[in-house]
Amino acid sequence: MKPSHHLMLGSVAGVATVPILGPYSGVFVAASFLIDSDHYLSYVWRNRLRDFSLKRAINFNRRLVSMVKVTPFLGLDVFHTIEALLVVYILALILGHQFFHAIAWGMTFHIALDMAYLLKRGIIFKRAHSLLEYLVRRRHMLNRGQQPWEPFHSILSEMGIGKANTKD
């Protein structure tokens, strides 16, 4: 799903949360949008900190989306994992502050939108939804002779940025 769609839908949902979250509904909107910053961090990590261009990161991720159906692929977006969500929920429970509840609900809203989008496109299992799941599935791919980093490496090479980080 495009970031602009997340921002638009998150804003509409944020307005709906005003009676519950009050001024923290803005935090809900921000969290439902900023969670996608892990896509940028993934790009920077995979190019071994050689390129920090947001424009090229967006291009990189668009190219990944077009390739996921035709190649063995396993993506990991760390802020989209159950573990990241649990950390925020635990903080919300321990600290009891509406700020963290708003972040948790914004993240949950975003992840739900992503899952619906991935399901509709038939690629819901191209992304790991947990760090543990990623490690297990990555090992399984390696045992079958597949290289989970290959799609990333290929796109970075096409973009002239160089080799990807081969150790996910």
Domain assignment present for 163 = no
Taking only the tens place, the pLDDT of each residue in 17-47 is 999 999 999 999 999 999 999 999 999 999 9
Domain assignment present for 76 = yes
User: Rounded to 5 degrees, what are φ and ψ at 146?
Assistant: -95, 150
- pLDDT for 2: 84
Domain assignment present for 87 = yes
Range of the domain at 48: 3-158
Check if the beta carbon of residue 65 is closer than 8 Å to that of residue 77.
Answer: no
Domain assignment present for 165 = no
Domain assignment present for 67 = yes
User: How many separate domains does the chain show?
Assistant: 1
- pLDDT for 143: 97
CA 53 – CA 148 distance, rounded (Å): 24
Cβ neighbours of residue 104 closer than 8 Å, sequence gap 6 or more: 31, 85, 88, 89, 92
pTM: 0.89
Domain assignment present for 166 = no
Positions of the chain with pLDDT under 50: 164
87 burial level (CB within 10 Å; 0-12, 13-18, 19+): middle
Domain assignment present for 167 = no
- pLDDT for 65: 87
Domain assignment present for 126 = yes
